[in-house]
Amino acid sequence: MCTLDPMEEERIGLFIDYENLAIGARDDLGIEFDFKPIADALAERGRVVVRRAYADWSSFQKERQMLADNQVELIEIPQRRGRVRKNAADIKMAVDAVELAFERDYVTAFVICTGDSDFTPLVQKLRELNKKVIGVGLKASTSAMLPPACDEFLFYERLGGVELPQRKRPAKKKKPETVDEPKPEATEDVAALITTTLAGLQRSGDGQVRSSTLKRALLRKDPTFSEADHGFRAFGELLRHLAGNSIVELAEDATRGDPVVDFPKTDDDSKDFDLLVEVVTKGGPRPLSGLKDQLRKRQSDCNERRLGYSGFLRFVQAASARGVVTLEWDDESGDYVVAVPE
């Protein structure tokens, strides 16, 4: 099986379940499906070498020219009724994708444009064949089974260039225009996701963690992850925001645009880490809530902000990244549990 050199671009095979996307865009979003946002998103991810769309094109006469202008090969599914026709399109598309995976070893990634859960086995098979799989679908009509099966999943309505109809709102008095900066409290969840992922990479790896490595790990955890959902135009912008709040630290080097990501370090935090280990060792694994008060009972001047951390969770995550404690989420208690590694 062909493996991709890290410096090479992905060579992509694109397969579109056109009826699923077109009807979804019309019924769920109230817009006509436009291929260009998908083309632009894929241009950022590699070179598309195969483009195929599957449908009974007698039902989509108007869209044929738009796809042809974008060099998409139209695969005709003979006219049948209802579910039988849809199944025929699904089967043809799945067979063609697997055939391409075997016959064109240079194709390293497959983009499956559909929200239909029937394609989940296809995605799983392509990944078994060491192919990267990116899904594209409408949020409202995408099965919950499909995104977790992919390496990355893009919701069509979140792609750049997709113009959603504006809902009319009652007129309000105009306020002076201001530029809204991303608010730290709005990124609390994503900050926790990034720091726990960074801590895990540092524990399991033997080298530096670059932003590209961190982003890939985030997508493995949640294929639908997108910094745009949190108000940022690029992943680097999100990391710079977190760095500005002393949540992470970025070290630029010879690799432009792919900085090393780390936790902020200070000269004084080692003794506070030692205190954390001492308290957890004595009392055994314990929830994060209340742990800060226990540290302060032992050492009144214990303050994570003095060390440059924006909160106690960040301090414990930094300790976890250095391997002095473990930090795991417990669904039953709804809290993090801090323990000393065995």
What does 136-170 look like in DSSP terms, one character per residue?
A: EE-TTTS-TTHHHHSSEEEEGGGSTT--PPPPP--
β-pairing, 73-76 vs 46-55, is parallel
Q: How far apart are CA 278 and CA 324, in angstroms?
A: 10
* Strands 109-113, 10-17: pairing kind: parallel
Confidence of residue 16 (pLDDT cuts 50, 70, 90): very high
Q: Tell me: pLDDT of 265 over 90.
A: no
Three-state SS at 199: helix
Residue 92 has pLDDT above 90, yes or no: yes
What is the predicted pLDDT for the residue at 75?
Answer: 94
CATH node for 269-339 = 3.30.420
Reported confidence tier of residue 269, pLDDT bands at 50, 70, 90: low
The mean pLDDT value for 304-310 works out to 65
Q: For domain 184-262, which CATH number applies: 1.25.40, 3.30.420, 3.30.70, 1.10.30?
A: 3.30.420
Q: Give the 3-state secondary structure percentages of the chain, helix then strand then coil, rounded to 5.
A: 45, 15, 40
Q: Would you kindly state where each structural domain of the chain is located, as residue ranges?
A: 10-158, 184-262, 269-339
Q: Which of 78-92, 106-120, 156-170, 299-313 has the highest mean pLDDT?
A: 106-120
The packing angle between helices 269-283 and 291-298, to 10°, is 110
Indicate if the pLDDT at residue 183 is higher than 70.
no
Residue 77, amino acid: I
The reply to whether 269-339 shares the fold of 184-262 is: yes
Look at residue 50 and give its three-state secondary structure.
strand
pLDDT at 174 over 90: no
Query: With 60 as the cut, is the pLDDT of residue 180 above it?
Result: no
Q: For the chain, what percent of residues have pLDDT higher than 90?
A: 32
- The rounded percent of the chain whose pLDDT value lies above 70 is 82
Is pLDDT of 2 > 60?
Answer: no
Q: Which amino acid makes up residue 260?
A: V
pLDDT on residue 310: 63
Cα-based torsion angle of the residue sequence 36, 28, 215, 49 in order, rounded to the nearest 10 degrees: -30
Mean pLDDT of all residues in 50-78: 90
Q: What is the CATH number of domain 10-158?
A: 3.40.50.1010
Q: Which of 108, 106, 141, 110 is nearest to 124 (CA)?
A: 110
- Is the distance from CB of 140 to CB of 23 less than 8 angstroms? no
Q: How confident is the model at residue 146 (pLDDT cuts 50, 70, 90)?
A: very high
- At 182 the pLDDT is 43
Asked if pLDDT for residue 181 goes beyond 80, the answer is no
Between 176 and 201, residue with greater pLDDT: 201
Question: What is the pTM (predicted TM-score) of this model?
Answer: 0.66
Where would I find the beta strands (DSSP E) of 267-315?
286-287
